[in-house]
Structure 1
Amino acid sequence: MRSCSRHTKALIAACLTMGVLAGCADEAGTPVDGGPPRPPASQDGAVSAPVTKVLVVIEENHTLDQMHAGMPYLASLADQYGYATHWRARAHPSEPNYLAIVGGSTFGVTDDATPSVNARRVGQAQSIFGQALAAGKSAHTYAESMPENCHQWDHPEKSVGKPSYAARHNPWVYFTAERAQCLEDDTDLSTFAADAASDTLPDIGLLIPDLTHDAHDASLTEADAWLERQLAPVLAGDDFRSGRLAVVVTADEDDRLQDNTVLTAVLHVGLTHKVVDTPLTHYSLTRFMAEVIGVEPLGEGRGAPDMRAAFGL
């Protein structure tokens, strides 16, 4: 444990005087009682650095109400920072929604087939990842349980056992014109924590849980616990605390029993208890990512409702 600074010692003494030591934290946001790091306090309207990075996390197959009730950690972040009440996914099943977010189109895809089938529908189209790299920015996908970079099949394959990595949840693998970049920057999760801790997350990042941790094959509780572990170094980093990084957590689609409204939480230090009632869609996220890196939004993103304006980012 690092030694306390004079400022920290004075803070602890003041807390003892008030009888609230357990609630105090050091300069890094780590509670002095040894508990887990707390997210930095949001400051709605406060001056912060311009948003230059976006990290997107996509959960699976649950409604706004289900996620808010079943994922208390995510719900607490949504309530602390901000979330949308009328955010609609674009389609069923999963795959077209992932393509919509990163490509501005579903490309006519109506199923969850692997790239061996559906990459031809995407054709030579560009993704937000390819856009970022072409503009001199950085892009990276972190896919949990993926056996090799830019892997185009489920793993393990269904003939061998129950898959944990689903290619349909890794949209970059469908963009054949960007295969070389995908092979370089579409990786497993092994460097994510270090990249977050060292403030070297990319300008456009996508964090993909496996089928256990995205609530597809397991519970929302497990997905929530995994999310807390992954976001801890992100929310403690200088990129996030300065306002340079915005984190967006959404779901690909609902449970197919309602109107496809999903929880989308926007985590940024400039937001405090922000509840956005403006109708938004996955194409709004397409537009937001493009605007952050200064490129033209792809496809339907060009005319999508303005997420940046709605959240005041």
Structure 2
Amino acid sequence: MLSDIATIRSVRAIVPVLLALAVATACQPAVQSGPRSTVSASPSGPSRHVFVIVLENSSYQQALAQSYISSLADQYAVASNYHDLGEPSLPNYLAMTSGSTWGVSDNEFHALPATGIGNQLTKARVSWKAYMEGFTGDCFDSPYPYALKHNPFPYYGDECPPNIVPMTDLVTDLNGTPPWLSWITPGLCNDGHDCGVRTADRWLSRFVPQITDSTAWKKDGVLFITWDESDAGDNHVPLLVIAPKMRGEITTRLDHYSLLATISDLLRVPRLGLAKQATSLTRQLQAGRPIP
């Protein structure tokens, strides 16, 4: 763990030097071009409170075989044709939050431009928080079960936003005024990464009712639960869509860019990167049922 932290610190220290060299020599960046937003945001505010839970490493079949996850799919809606973007974890988290994988194909630290849904919301003065289990105040140096690779927000701009808080803060916020976007990342055991999908299922059974019992969710909320990647190698993972009036099976082909497109539309900020062309679920949410 200490060696990993030292590596992260070393990488962060040399990033400014590398950037200066890149400018001086007019070299092209090693990663893909980042997402750009060209559409103006709506002058009106967000339309719904959005909650997102991202779990780890389960196929669609494995996840839906769990008792509580299956009950959520039966009671609300499940996107049965939803797909990840392949292995490993980090590129999927980047896609969900910025509309690009940035050419990243590992779980190492990469300092990226200051973009992403978090920065967008901050500039638009739309409240958001990322609730991280195990987070102790430092995005780059918090102990197990926290994992930096499952927290995409510090990658954008190479800094730890003040919006990242311990998961325990969510209970207080739900009893008061939660932010418009609540991004929720369990630790390496409860997300299923180290302890399996059954543990994740039990964690959800204790955690989800705290959200669905809240005034914000009952009034205008939607909770999305998905997995970063399938451990079956088929890129097929569930997306649970939990809203008070949402029911049914969504068969439209979707992926992590679709999730970002939906979040952006609901919070009324421009879509980033490949989310611009992705299919959004806003029409289904408005109708309360799947729409072909």
Q: TM-score range by the shorter chain?
A: 0.7 to 0.9
CA contact (8 A) 1:197 1:233 kept: no
**Which digits, 9 at most, give the CA deviation of each residue in 1:132-182, with x for residues without a partner?**
121121010000011214x124x43xxxxxx421100001011117x3xx4
SS in 1 for 2:236: coil
CA contact (8 A) 1:280 1:307 kept: no
SS in 1 for 2:63: helix
Which one has the largest radius of gyration? Answer: 1
Matched with 1:143 is 132
Equivalence map 1:1-313=2 (5 Å):
51-70=47-66, 72-114=67-109, 118-119=110-111, 122-124=112-114, 126-149=115-138, 151-153=139-141, 155-156=142-143, 163-176=144-157, 179=159, 182-198=160-176, 200-242=177-219, 244-255=220-231, 257-272=232-247, 274-311=248-285, 312=287
SS in 2 for 1:83: strand
Q: Distance in 1 between matches of 2:239 and 2:152?
A: 19
Gaps of at least 5 residues in structure 1 are 1-49, 157-162
Q: CA deviation at 1:228?
A: 2.1
Moved over 6 A (4+): none
SS in 2 for 1:275: strand
Q: CA deviation at 1:190?
A: 2.2
Q: Distance in 1 between matches of 2:56 and 2:255?
A: 16
SS in 1 for 2:161: helix
Q: CA deviation at 1:51?
A: 4.2
SS in 2 for 1:184: coil
CA contact (8 A) 1:139 1:202 kept: yes
TM-score, normalised via structure 2 length: 0.79
AA matched with 1:123 = P
AA matched with 1:270 = K
Matched with 1:19 is none
CA contact (8 A) 2:47 2:268 kept: no
TM-score, normalised via structure 1 length: 0.74
Deviates more, 1:73-82 or 1:165-174: 73-82
Count of aligned residue pairs for this structure pair:
242
Q: Distance in 2 between matches of 1:143 and 1:194?
A: 15
Q: Distance in 2 between matches of 1:218 and 1:286?
A: 27
**Which digits, 9 at most, give the CA deviation of each residue in 1:6-43, with x for residues without a partner?**
xxxxxxxxxxxxxxxxxxxxxxxxxxxxxxxxxxxxxx
AA matched with 2:236 = T
Gaps of at least 5 residues in structure 2 are 1-45
Q: Distance in 2 between matches of 1:136 and 1:147?
A: 25
